[in-house]
Amino acid sequence: MTIRTLAPATYDKLTATVARDTGERRTAALWIHAAALVRHAHDHALAPIEDRPPGPGGLLKSLESLAGCHPALAPLADPAVLPLWEQPLGAAAWAAIEEFWDRHPALEGEHRVDGYVLGDAYQLLSEEARKGRALCQTPPWVARLLLRLSLEPAMDEWGPADVRMIDPACGTGHIAVAAFHMARVPPVRGRRPSPVGHGPWAVERALAAVSGVDLDAYAAALTAYRLLACSASVLGVRLARVPASWPVNVAAADSLLDRSDPLLAAGAYHACVANPPYITPKDPVVRDQIRAAYPQVATGKYSLALPFTALMLEHLAVPGGFVAQLTANSFMKREFGRRYVTEFLPRFDARWIIDTSGAYIPGHGTPTCILVHRARPPVGDTVTVVRGNHGEPRIPEDPAQGLVWRAIEDTVDSRLAWDRFQAGADRARQGGDPTH
Ligand SMILES: C[S@@+](CC[C@H](N)C(=O)[O-])C[C@H]1O[C@@H](n2cnc3c(N)ncnc32)[C@H](O)[C@@H]1O
């Protein structure tokens, strides 16, 4: 059994037990999750087994040891990120955590190290991340579709070896990890040999291609850990053997307001891909700061998703860069979306509008849509729209195989195949190689 099948109440119960020692739930959730992360590293042979001494003190030592494996893992031993050193645990709480993870391992099925379950566990454990920052995991099958419509065409246009992508609301890294794998092994097109292979260079290059930023410092640290875990696993080495000089482009920062972080530099990305927060900012000071920084979209009781679109299209993307997002469709129905729909979005080259409101996307109670734009004025007269007719008749056992989601993917597949056929036919007419 994977922990994905556990009811949220199971996590709540454990968090309540541990919170008796820590005094509050936030640190309790972090103790529980850090224990899962250390287990993940050891169970996948990413860290030496002797680096896992017993007890809560042992967990702190394991975190310090993990933090020493690569500069990008330093936050794991930073009390400002993980305040565990300041709020130690008693034996009973520790035994409850150990027993929980013994029964519900936070590993992946089929020995994959990607850490999807680890990310999902953080969402389930941290009420603070869920309610305060709208952390809601983007399922890997949604991440893949977003990347197929953004990173993949960006690799075609700028070349797989040069492309750079960012998720400016990366959470625990579901999109970043999927992008890492796509950048490491780009899809083969026609007879063109892929310039990126499977060796160390491919891993280093894929790490360099992917960036992620999140307000939540622990979620960002988890993203960095997952990117390194994937890298180490592909190379067949422990985390400590991934060269310290290899880039892990993950930062904890406010993507909307922080202009000092190098990862948030202007015009740096060929693909920007996000499942941004949809909430209305709660803090009135932050709400006004964002309103002042994004007057073109932040009107009325705006959702944070709107300034995120402006951030990606106007600031982060290179000219012509691809911007794909899974976002709430509330802007289509509410007053705050008026300026966004009538003045802001028409300035950009809309490629895809996909109604995903009928699909069952776990955790996403809000009706959603996928928007894909290019950061340039509109080109041509075609926008591909996938309109929903029906919702999912019942909650599918495997959401990736839900009727609505399958219909969306099939529609996108046939449209992409048609576009490629037409592009090939155009090249052949001009005397070129239709498969390039
Ligand atoms: C819907 S979740 C994204 C989940 C992510 N795609 C994943 O699968 O892990 C939205 C994320 O936006 C982050 N966030 C909210 N406001 C932010 C801001 N101003 N700057 C950066 N990240 C922010 C939250 O912390 C949360 O992790």
Q: What digits encode the pLDDT tens for the residues 360-398?
A: 998 878 899 999 999 999 998 899 999 998 899 999 999
CA nearest 368: which of 338, 396, 339, 392? 392
* Gap from CA of 420 to ligand 1 centroid (Å): 34
Whole-number Å distance, alpha carbon 263 to ligand 1 midpoint, is 15
- Atom from ligand 1 closest to the CA of residue 257: 19
Regarding the beta carbon of 149 and ligand 1, being less than 6 Å apart is answered no
Residue 131 confidence (pLDDT): 85
Instruction: Report the interhelical angle of 140-148 vs 403-429 (nearest 10°).
Output: 20
User: Is ligand 1 within 6 A of the CB of residue 169?
Assistant: yes
Band (135; pLDDT cuts 50, 70, 90): confident
Q: Which atom of ligand 1 is nearest to the CA of 129?
A: 25
- Token pair for 53: 């001494």
186 lines ligand 1 (CB under 6 A): no
pLDDT recorded at residue 3: 42
> Quick one: which atom of ligand 1 is closest to the CA of 167?
6
Cβ atoms of 347 and 296 within 8 Å: the answer is no
Task: Give the span between the Cα atoms of 128 and 354, in whole angstroms.
Answer: 31
Which of 133, 138, 146 has most ligand 1 atoms within 8 Å of CB, for mutation? 133
CB 215 near ligand 1, within 6 Å: yes
Supply φ then ψ for residue 193, to 5 degrees.
Answer: -70, 140
Query: In angstroms, what CA-CA distances link 207 with 146, 232, 322, 329, 369?
Result: 19, 11, 19, 32, 29
Q: At residue 4, does pLDDT exceed 70?
A: no
Mean pLDDT, to the nearest integer, of 345-364?
94
Q: Which of 303, 322, 25, 318 is nearest to 153 (CA)?
A: 322
Q: How confident is the model at residue 1 (pLDDT cuts 50, 70, 90)?
A: very low
H-type alpha helices, 135-216: 140-148, 151-158, 174-184, 200-209
Give 305-327 pLDDT, tens digit per residue.
999 999 999 999 999 999 999 99
pLDDT single digits (tens) 240-273: 999 999 999 999 999 999 999 999 999 999 999 9
Percent of the chain's residues with pLDDT above 90? 75
The answer to whether 117 and 101 have CB atoms below 8 angstroms apart is: no
Is the CB of 327 inside a 6 Å radius of any atom of ligand 1?
no
Ligand 1 touching residue 133 (CB < 6 A): yes
The upper half-sphere exposure of residue 181, i.e. CA atoms within 13 Å in the direction of its Cβ, equals 18
Q: Spell 270-279 as b/e; 16+ CB within 10 A means b.
A: bbbbbbbbbb
What's the average model confidence in pLDDT over 404-431?
91
The CATH superfamily holding the domain 138-436 is Vaccinia Virus protein VP39 (3.40.50.150)
**Atom 2, ligand 1: residue with shortest CA distance:** 135
**What is the phi/psi pair of residue 203, to 5°?**
-70, -45
Q: Is 14 in the pocket of ligand 1 (CB under 6 A)?
A: no
**172 CB near ligand 1 (under 6 Å):** yes
pLDDT for residue 190: 62
CB 216 near ligand 1, within 6 Å: yes
pLDDT of residue 133: 84
CA of 32 to the centre of ligand 1 (A): 21
Specify the ligand 1 atom closest to the Cα of 173.
Answer: 9
Mean pLDDT of the chain: 91
pLDDT at 103: 87
Ligand 1 centre distance from Cα of residue 215 (Å) = 7
What tens digit of pLDDT does each residue of 165-209 get?
Answer: 999 999 999 999 999 999 998 877 665 555 555 689 999 999 999
What pLDDT, on the 0 to 100 scale, is given for residue 111? 62
d(CA 210, CA 212): 7
